[in-house]
Amino acid sequence: MSIALRKQLVKPDTSFGPLRFVEALPWLILAAALRVIAFRGGLLSIVAIVCADIAILQAFILVARRSIELAHGQTNLGSLGPLEQFRLARAIFGRTLLLMIGACAAVAAAGGASYAIISLVGVDGMAFDQFNTAAKFWSATVATLVLLMIVGADANDGEVRFFAAIAEFGRRWVWLCAAILFLGAVYIGLSFVQGLVRDTIRMYWQTSSDSQFLKNLVFFVFIFSFAMLRLWITLLILTFGLKQSYKS
């Protein structure tokens, strides 16, 4: 499919320095702000959810580039300008949205209407915590297909091919399914740790005499630290699984 993870043809570009690990942070901040708007309900919430998912995909693309480089792979993602990154994220979102809607309809038709809504948070769960176990594994599955679409687009002049990604998943299902299961389990563990930290921060808010600014700062650091950590863990695990699939 792609040469991105098959060989080390060139050395990774590390010119960005340590900040390369947080270059996706602005997109996660935007996504978090849009999620707050979405929680208010109304028609505007639909627009906010769509824009939040695209922002998460933009962050995903940035981290995917770094993850591939850390895996000693070659990628042209670093040559994409902001507009090209947006077009790629938008194209991937369109395919992913159809996947999530199709999954939602299938689950509802199978009698699981109460779980159908979980199918629509596949992208959101790649960066932000989901409180349902099934949603965690679904997000891991969606993240795998997104990575395959990114790698495929990288090898085909930016053209996003959803069904080619599905076919690639079928050829490499052993390692990729193992990666999904492991990632889902990691999501569960990470959610538990995040819950403990969330409870500690809630207690801090209620009992501390610190300024409101400091309390807000602690909260935002908590939110975005875990979002960035979850995104990096996602890409590192899936990139490793994809790389191993080329060797088997």
Q: Residue 120's domain spans which residues?
A: 17-247
* pLDDT for res 18: 61
Residue 8 located in a structural domain? no
Q: Which residues, other chains included, contact 48 with Cβ-Cβ below 8 Å and sequence gap of 6+? A: 34, 35, 37, 38
- In SS3 terms, 174-219 reads as HHHHHHHHHHHHHHHHHHHHHHHHHHHHHHHHHHCCCCHHHHHHHH
pLDDT digits 0-9 by tens, 124-153: 999 999 888 999 999 999 999 999 999 999
52 domain-assigned:
yes
pLDDT tens, residue by residue, 149-195: 999 998 888 889 999 999 999 999 999 999 999 999 999 999 999 99
118/58: higher pLDDT:
58
Task: List pLDDT tens digits, range 26-73.
Answer: 999 999 989 888 888 778 888 999 999 999 999 999 999 999 988 888
pTM of the full structure: 0.88
Domain count, the chain: 1
- Is 7 among the domain residues? no
Write out the two tokens for 40: 């208010």
On whether residue 4 sits in a domain, the answer given is no
Residue 134 lies in a domain: yes
In a domain, 5, yes or no: no
Q: Is 65 part of a structural domain of the chain?
A: yes
Residues in the chain: 248
In the prediction, which pLDDT does 111 show?
81
In a domain, 58, yes or no: yes
Contact by Cβ (8 Å): 188, 194: no
Q: What is the pLDDT of residue 47?
A: 92
